[in-house]
Structure 1
Amino acid sequence: SPGCPCAGVGMTGQSLLFLTTLALGLVGVAWGAQPALLGRGAAAAACRLDDNESESWGALLSAERLDAWICSLLGSLMVGLSGVFPLLVIPLEMGAALRSEAGSHRLKQLLSFALGGLLGNVFLHLLPEAWAYTCSAATGGGGQSLQQQQLLGLWVIAGFLTFLGLEKMFLDSREKDCPSQISGYLNLLANTIDNFTHGLAVAASFLVSKKIGLLTTMAILLHEIPHEVGDFAILLRAGFDRWSAAKLQLWTALGGILGA
C-alpha cells in the first residue's frame, strides 16, 4: 500500500523464503527416500563415463584418426609456411628498397594486388554464396541466383572503391605522431587468429575425408597467397626488415597448428 512501502518487499521476501524452504524440503525427501538408488545411479553413471571416455580415446587414437591428425597438422603447417611466399616474389636486393621512397610504388602495387584478391574473395565468392543460401532457405528455393548475388557484390565493391577514392581526394594533411610498428603488430595478431581458423577448417575437413581435406587445404593456400603478400607488405611498411617480417609470419603459423 502507499502508506507502507515495505509491505510489498515483505510479502516478496516471505514468498521467496517459502519457495526456498519447499524446494529444500522436496530435495531432502527425495534424497532420504532413495539413497541406495542414487548411489547405484551415480556408480553406474561413473562406469558409463569411464567406458565412454575410454572408447572416445580409443577412437581418437585409432589408425584412421591418427591419419586425420597427421594430415591436419601437415596441412596447417603448409598453410602457415605460405607466409614466406613473399620472399620468393620480392627479390633479396629489393628488401631494403621497398622501405625507401623509391620503392614505395612497388610496395603499393603489392598492397593493391592483395587488396584486389581479398575484395574479390569476400564480395564475389563468400558473401554471394551466403546471401544466395540465405535467400533460398527463406523463400523455399525461390531466391535470387548466385549470379545475381555476385552482381550485388560487384555493386558493393564499386561503392567501396568510390568512397575510398573520395577519401583519398580529401586526405588530412596533418601529420600524426604514432608508433609506426603498431599496424604491423595488429596485423600479426589478426593473422594469428586467421591461421587458427584455417587450422580448424583443415582439421574438420580431414575428419570428413582425405579428399575433402586436400581440397580445403589447396583452397586455403590459394586464398592465402594474396593475403600473405599483403601482410608482408604491411609489415615492411610498418618498419620491419625483410627477414624479421618473414620470421614473424612463420610465428603466426603456430596459430594454425593450434587450431588443428
Structure 2
Amino acid sequence: MTLIAILVGTMAAGIGSVWLAALLSFGLLARYTQHMLSLAAGALLATAFLHLLPEAFESQISPQQLFATLLVGLVFFFLLDKAELWHHGHEHHDADHAAQDGVAAHSHHGHQHGAERVSGGWAVLAGDSVHAFGDGILIASAFMADLRLGFVATLAVLVHEVPHHMGDLIVLRQSSNNRRIALVKVSLAGAVTALGGVIGYALVDQLLNYLPFFLIIASSSFIYVALADLIPQLQKRATLPETAAQIAWLGIGIGLVTLVSSLAHAH
C-alpha cells in the first residue's frame, strides 16, 4: 500500500507538475506565473515547518542531532546549487520580454547565448533528472513516516516544480522550436521522480531507525528552495498591489497544505 502511494505521489509530482507547467507556459494562464512562485514558497515552508519537522522531532533522537542535520542539509543543498546540480533557477523575468512565449524566460548558466541553446537544453534535462530523483526520495521518506505526510510532501513538490518546469519548457522550446517535443522531454525527466521514489522506499525501508533524519533532509531541501530561490525572486517586484498579491498567494500556499493535511488526516 505504501509503495503504491509513493508511485502515485511521485508520478503526480513529477509528471503532473510538467503538464500544469505546460498549461501555464503555453496557455491562457501564463499571467499567473508570479502567483505560482508565491504559492510554491508558502507550500514548501508550511510542509517543512508544520509537518516534516514536527514529525521528526517526535522521535527519540535528540534535538541537537536533528538541528545539526538540518544545518548540514541546508549547506549541502547550497553546495549542490553552487555546483549547478540542483537546477532550481526559476528566474522568471517580466513577461513583457517574452510575450510570444507567454511566460518569462528561464535563467540558467550557459543558456544566455544562442549558440549554446541545444547543449543547454540537454543540461536542463540532466539537471531535472537529478532534481527529480532527489524529489522522489524525499516524497518516499514522507510516505514511509505517515501517509498524510506523503500527500502533503507530494503537494509541496508539485507546486514548487511548476514554475521550475515552466522555465525548462521555454529553454527547450528555444532549442527545438517544438512545444510537443519540449513537453515530452521534460515529462521524461519528471518521470525519474518515480524511480527516486522506488529507490527511496527500498532505502528508507532498510533504515527505518534513521527516518527522522530523512525527514529533516527533506525539510532542509524545502526550506532552502523557498528561502534561497523563490522568495528572493518575489522581492524583485515591490509595488504595493504586487506585494499584496504575493502575500495573499503565500498564505494560500500555506492554507492549501494545511487543508490537504487535514483532509488526509480525516481519512
Q: TM-score scaled by structure 2?
A: 0.42
Q: Relative contact order (alpha carbons < 8 A, sep ≥ 6): 1 or 2 greater?
A: 2
Higher-Rg member (1/2): 1
